[in-house]
Structure formats: C-alpha cells, structure tokens
Amino acid sequence: MGDIALFTSYGIDYLFRWIHMLTGVAWIGLLYYFNFVQTEYFKEAEDAHRSGAIQKLVPRALWWFRWAAMFTFLTGVALLAYRHMAISYDITVGAALGTLMFLNVWLIIWPNQKIVIASATQVAQGGEALPEAAAAAPKAALASRTNTLFSAPMLFFMGSSAHLSNGLVVDANGLGLSIILLIILLLEANAIFGKQGPLTTVKGVISCSIGLTAVLYGLMALL
C-alpha cells in the first residue's frame, strides 16, 4: 500500500496551501464586509444603533478578521520557505502586498479599533468618549481602505504565478520589480501618514484597486 498522499511532502505542501486559501477567503471576505457593507451602514445608522454595533458586532468580526490574517500570513511564510527556489517576480509582489496588509491589520487597524470600541463602550456606560478615539477611527479607516486597494493586485499576482507564468515570469526583470515595490511602499506610506483621497468611496477604492492592478501588471510585463 502506497503512502497516503496527504502525508507526503507534496501532501503537506497542499495542506498548507489549502489552509492559506481557506483563511485568506475569510480574511479578504471580512475586509470587503468592513469596507463595502459596515462602513456604508455606519454612515446612515442612528447613533444608538451604530454604538451597539461597535460594542457587540465589530469586536466579533475583528476577532475573525485579525486571526484569519494571521493564519493566512503564517501559512504563506511556510509556503515561501518550502518553495524558496521557485519564488517568481509575481509571487514576490503578491507576498509583499500580503505582508503589508497583514501588518496593517495588526499594527494599525486593530490597535486603533480597540480605542474606538473602548470609547463607544465608555460612552454607552455613561462616561465620556476617549479623546484619542477621534484620531483613531480615521487611522483605522485609511489602513483598511489601503488593504482594500492592495487586495486586487495581491490576488492577481498570487494567481498569475501559477496561471500566467508564460507571460510575467519570462518577461519580468529587476527594474520592473524595483519600480513596483517602490510604488507599493509609497502607497503604504500614505496609509500611515496620508489621507483617503479617492479611496473614500466604495466606487473609488474598487476603481483604484483595479487600476493599480493594471499599472503593476503593465510594469511587470513591459519593463
């Protein structure tokens, strides 16, 4: 009787890939929920309903959100370590975007959302809003919008490594990769120090995300 496929080196690789995809679906699905559904609802909701959602709904959603991001990142690191000799330019771009998205979740979105939740809870209990909450909410929102901006190109380049390899990998070079990574870093700098700009609306962030994918693809394919 031969080895059970799952307990071979190829099987373990696939298991990590499956977990990576499973938790990635949960992570990006919740990212889109926050940006396309919850944010728009909060703009129209009455104060009491918004406060109740921030206290009871948002913490639950953020728990799944941040831990899905964690497991997606960790399994991604494991896959990169296992396949380090086969890392292509497009995987490098996808991994860079995914890593920044993970860091935005744990270092910007979650810390600032904790302040917003604590402030809403304190007000609901008859206290005063936390002074830092006014600044925390926009910081979390900008990082979340930036992750949404990054999501389409991240998914595109992760997929292109396996399904578009005859184009990107052959034609790409270090110059194109360097320019792409510089653009990504500049956009991340805006996530930390800048403003939402065209990312403020759902239509705007979707358009920018698709546009960014096209720009990065063009640089990868043509330079």
pLDDT tens-digit profile of 119-165?
999 999 999 999 999 999 999 999 999 999 999 999 999 988 777 76
Band of residue 24 on the pLDDT scale cut at 50, 70, 90: very high
Band of residue 171 on the pLDDT scale cut at 50, 70, 90: low
pLDDT for 170 equals: 46
Query: In percent, how much of the chain has pLDDT > 90?
Result: 79
Degrees to nearest 5, angle at CA 105 with 104 and 109: 90
Question: Which pTM does this prediction carry?
Answer: 0.92
Separation between Cα atoms, residue 26 and residue 49, nearest integer Å: 25
- Please provide the DSSP assignment of 14-25 as one string: HHHHHHHHHHHH
Q: Is 105 exposed, middle or buried (0-12, 13-18, 19+ CB in 10 A)?
A: buried
Q: Read off the pLDDT of each residue in 72-95 and give the average, rounded to a whole number.
A: 88
Give me the chain's average pLDDT, please: 92
pLDDT beyond 80 at 83 = no
